[in-house]
Amino acid sequence: MLQELALINRARTNGDAVAFRTTAGIHTYRQLLDHSAVLAAALLDDAADLLEARVALLAPAGFDFVAAQWATWRAGGVTVPLCLSATEAEWEYALTDSGAGVVIADAGSAARVGPLCARLGLRLLNLGGTGLPAGPRSLPEVSAGRAGMILYTSGTTSKPKGVVTTHANIQAQIESLVQAWEWSASDRIPLFLPMHHIHGIINVTSCALWSGALIEPFTRFDSATVLTRLQADAYTVFMAVPTIYVKLIQAIEAAAPAERAAIVAAFGRLRLMVSGSAALPASIHEKWTALTGQKLLERYGMTEIGMGLSNPYHGERRPGAVGLPLPGVDVRLKGESGAIVTREDEPGEIQVRGPAVFRAYWNRPEATAESFDGDWFRTGDMAVRERGYYRIMGRLSVDIIKSGGYKLSALEIEAALLEHPDILECAVLGLPDATWGEAVTAVVVPKGQAVVELPALREWCKARISPYKIPQRLKVVPQLPRNAMGKVTKPAVRDLFTETPPAA
């Protein structure tokens, strides 16, 4: 009997259970298996095994994306999910860097990427087209040790790198979360996150399908539609990024009293709500709890490791903290001196090891070697332990400000500024300064027509943060630069100052 990947094998036990539900209808686990087998045959063509050939995926969240992903895996290939909203130049970079030979795309994406495929000499498999084989064929045996996916990092700090994970890595990432967050076949979850990112692919889609749960996919986040479905008790689990929770808070506050009460009650019936992919300000965490009664579960992860830390499913979910190591994950902090941090409140770089940690950066052996300290992956994130829980201070390179002999966390200062009644969003960074080394600099988006000025802001801060953490410079902007996951890109924020000097 053919030895199958664990995710595929588990799907067989779910048979006619619903895997995906949309306004157009439903797709069962059996249909997902059957269609992925047909697509796998089309990918193989005359070959017996793709032997880790790279196959790029361009499709929205849902049945077609997963069928294409599973088809690639079942044919022995490596999936390279691409961002639907990326530019042609960004697609070309990922396709050429990964050496992809095939692109699988839905009808809309196929029309856009077709000319690029023709220019690069790539095969294009249109999910909306005709001419697929009439039925499945013999598929290869694929071991868990093979490469299964290449996800490109968000590029917030450098040129995107391809993160190679094996099927064993992927399985370890799934099993850790399924255990920690108690997924079951009775769960139902909306999916509106991008499918070129680990949050959408692993945390939502793969965990749900591993568990036999139901996914309701959306092409994009639409608060009105999601809130309507929520009130119909369509979901048991909800996962989103902080910007979505901000939008939901605005929608709840703007709703009429009766509708507001219905929405709040519906959120209260969910068994789990998770926030991730960017830091969740403590003020948003606390406001969400005050509005809905739900305590958001914040976690920490990255493309290279899956999820590493999480607030507990049972127990205290602490605002501003990312919790404790997940099952199967070892975490340590390493200080600047090279010593392992053993004391609480002492900062260090988060280092992670375990079966979920990625294999290598694609075709970048030097970058791979530099990213490991023995068998520990160096995340580049600084954190402290406070009463057992980890709190992220920020990226070593962009979120740690060295000012006047102090090492400051930009995230901590941002969290304080977000409590200001006239500030909607903010980003804090350090800019070169002859006196301080780096000057704490705030970039803020005001609420509505509010006016935010540096003297008044500094005065407001005095009762909330230490004097050496108070912004010395200020820039007011209409919006902050963000990537596809809604994460503020600090290098782009820094670039704002090459145009106009900040107020001082």
Contact 439, 433 (CB under 8 A): yes
Q: Closest by alpha carbon to 490, among 436, 410, 417, 418?
A: 410
Q: How confident is the model at residue 504, as a pLDDT?
A: 57
pLDDT digits (tens, 9 = 90+) for 18-59: 999 999 999 999 999 999 999 999 999 889 999 999 999 999
Per-residue three-class SS string for 451-489 = CCCHHHHHHHHCCCCCHHHCCCEEEECCCCCECCCCCEC
List Cβ neighbours of 393 (8 Å cut-off, separation of 6 or more).
347, 381, 382, 383, 384, 399, 400, 409, 411, 412
Q: How confident is the model at residue 33, as a pLDDT?
A: 96
The distance in angstroms from the start CA to the end CA of the chain is: 71
- Rounded Cα distance between 455 and 24, Å, is 56
Contact 82, 106 (CB under 8 A): no
Q: How confident is the model at residue 395, as a pLDDT?
A: 74
Contact 410, 395 (CB under 8 A): no
Contact 426, 475 (CB under 8 A): no
Tokens found for residue 214:
């139901």
Q: How confident is the model at residue 156, as a pLDDT?
A: 44
Contact 221, 61 (CB under 8 A): no
Q: How confident is the model at residue 139, as a pLDDT?
A: 93
Beta carbons within 10 angstroms of residue 294's beta carbon: 18
Q: How confident is the model at residue 428, as a pLDDT?
A: 94
The whole-model pTM stands at 0.83
- Rounded Cα distance between 272 and 413, Å, is 29
Per-residue three-class SS string for 332-343 = EEECCCCCECCC
pLDDT digits (tens, 9 = 90+) for 432-442: 887 777 899 99
Q: Report the alpha-carbon angle 170-301-378, nearest 5.
A: 95
User: Domains (ranges, CATH) in the chain?
Assistant: 26-142 (3.40.50.980), 182-295 (3.40.50.980), 400-498 (3.30.300.30)
Q: How confident is the model at residue 297, as a pLDDT?
A: 97
Q: How confident is the model at residue 385, as a pLDDT?
A: 96
Instruction: Give alpha helix (H) positions in 121-185.
Output: 167-181
Q: How confident is the model at residue 85, as a pLDDT?
A: 83
- Rounded Cα distance between 408 and 418, Å, is 17
Distances (CA, A) of 40 to 80, 166, 181, 310, 352: 15, 19, 32, 36, 35
Q: Which is it for strands 372-373 and 348-353: parallel, antiparallel or unpaired?
A: unpaired
Q: How confident is the model at residue 499, as a pLDDT?
A: 57
Contact 11, 209 (CB under 8 A): yes
Residue 290 DSSP one-character state: H
Q: What is the pLDDT along the chain (504 residues), one digit of tens a residue?
A: 567 899 999 999 999 999 999 999 999 999 999 999 999 999 998 899 999 999 999 999 999 999 999 999 999 999 999 989 888 888 999 999 999 999 999 999 999 999 999 999 999 999 976 556 555 578 999 999 999 999 998 544 456 899 999 999 999 999 999 999 999 999 999 999 989 999 999 999 999 999 999 999 999 899 999 999 999 999 999 999 888 998 899 899 999 999 999 999 999 999 999 998 877 888 889 999 999 999 999 999 999 999 999 999 999 999 989 999 999 999 999 998 899 999 998 999 999 999 999 999 999 999 999 999 999 999 999 999 999 999 998 777 778 787 876 778 788 899 889 999 999 999 999 998 877 778 999 999 999 999 999 999 999 999 888 888 999 999 999 999 987 667 888 888 988 987 555 565
